[in-house]
Amino acid sequence: MTGPKQMGRFDRNSAPEGKTALGKVRGLGSARHGGEHWVRERVSSAALLLLGVWFIISLLLLPDLRMDTLAEWLRSPLGFVPMALFVYLCFEHSLEGVKVIIDDYQGDDGGRLFWTIVSLFLHVGVGALALFALARIAFGASA
Amino acid sequence: MARNINRPLSPHLTIWKWGPHMLVSILHRGTGMALSIAGLVLLTWWLLAIAGGAASYKTFTEAATHPLGLFVLIGLTWAFLQHTASGIRHLIMDVGAGFELNTNKTMAYATMAASLLLTLALWAYILLVRA
């Protein structure tokens, strides 16, 4: 291991050469990345606006909410496809939104990394479970 | 050089006079988190219950029609509609519109009025007409 020992972990509140963290970055401009997350969050919100309205109206238009009625609806192309997109985008948009909350309230680098990974694992895991359930309704043997 | 701890960081909730735009901004985050946790769990449970067959769907409907379940469903409906309405407000502000004081205030009030009225209308229809 070479190099100064105190370079181990970046501390946002201290900086070398007698400059504050803000003083160090002032004038450098933007990081030139990070915009994709912002755009993606808005694109998924626009998609969810359409799919959310579709979801509520579809439930209201069904004759009843019995299991067979719902399963039949979710087996049809116009039930399954928008529902699969709705489920996927709900989890995608949630992941993006929770990331903003974590970035805003977790000042500590380690904590931010920890909660980002916890949120990612939970969203991917539970989201996969929800899509599995939908696939089973649509493609499984009808009960 | 460390930050001087006697200097304040950005002023937070406690020092500002509350306005509708602040309330709506906080509601957007609060409802977003509620939907992320309770909303996604419920959506997943609902799909699993349908996939699981008659017995598991019965468990779900019993929980959903229990007074406490209804409270959660009505709460999540409001959270979804409030988040949607304030989301539209954010999309409008993202293109640079709606920053004039009065327009901004009116839009903020409008999101809350819309979410409450739509929740009321939706559940009045479900509980009084459909049930």
Considering only residues B10 and B1, tell me which one the structure prediction assigns the higher pLDDT: B10
Which residues of chain A does B57 touch, with a Cβ-Cβ cutoff of 8 Å?
A: 67
**What pLDDT, on the 0 to 100 scale, is given for residue A54?**
98
Q: Is the pLDDT of residue B59 over 90?
A: yes
Q: Name the token pair of A68.
A: 């067979």
Q: pTM for the full model?
A: 0.85
When the candidates are 1.10.10.10, 3.50.50.60, 3.40.50.2000, 1.20.1300.10, the CATH number that belongs to B20-130 is 1.20.1300.10
pLDDT tens digits, one per residue of B80-130: 999 999 999 999 999 999 999 999 999 999 999 999 999 999 999 999 998
Q: How confident is the model at residue A18, as a pLDDT?
A: 67
> CB contact, 8 Å: A43 with chain B?
no
pLDDT of residue B3 exceeding 80, the answer is no
Is the pLDDT reported for residue B66 higher than 90? yes
Q: How many CA atoms lie within 13 A of B17 on its CB side?
A: 0
Give pLDDT, residue B86. 97
B30 in reach of chain A (CB within 8 A): no
For helices B20-34 and B101-124, what crossing angle results, to 10°?
40
Residue B9: per-residue pLDDT: 67
B97 CA to chain A: closest CA distance, Å? 16
Q: How confident is the model at residue B58 (pLDDT cuts 50, 70, 90)?
A: very high
Query: Burial of B105 by CB count in 10 Å (0-12 exposed, 13-18 middle, 19+ buried)?
Result: middle
Which member of B1, B32, B48 has the closest CB to residue A133?
A: B48
Across chain A, which has 143 residues, the per-10-residue mean pLDDT values are 48 60 84 87 97 97 96 97 98 97 92 97 98 96 59
User: Within the 22-41 window of chain A, which residues sit less than 8 Å (CB to CB) from chain B?
Assistant: none
Residues of B (53-72) whose Cβ lies below 8 Å from A = 53-54, 57, 61
Answer with the residue of higher pLDDT: B3 or B65: B65
Write down all domains in chain A, each with its CATH number in brackets.
34-139 (1.20.1300.10)
Is the predicted pLDDT of residue B48 greater than 80, yes or no? yes
Which pair of tokens denotes residue A90?
């709900």
Q: What is the mean pLDDT of chain B?
A: 92
Q: What is the 3-state secondary structure (H, E, C) of chain B?
A: CCCCCCCCCCCCHHHCCCCHHHHHHHHHHHHHHHHHHHHHHHHHHHHHHHHHCHHHHHHHHHHHHCHHHHHHHHHHHHHHHHHHHHHHHHHHHHCCCCCCHHHHHHHHHHHHHHHHHHHHHHHHHHHHHHC
- Under an 8 A CB cutoff, do A70 and B43 touch? no
Cα A32 from Cα B117, distance rounded (Å):
43
Task: Please report the ipTM that was assigned to this predicted complex.
Answer: 0.89
Residues in Cβ contact with A115 at an 8 Å cutoff, skipping those fewer than 6 apart: A102, A106
User: Of B62, B73, B78, B89, nearest to B30 (Cα)?
Assistant: B78
pLDDT at residue B5 is higher than 70:
yes
How many angstroms away from the CA of A78 is the closest CA of chain B? 17
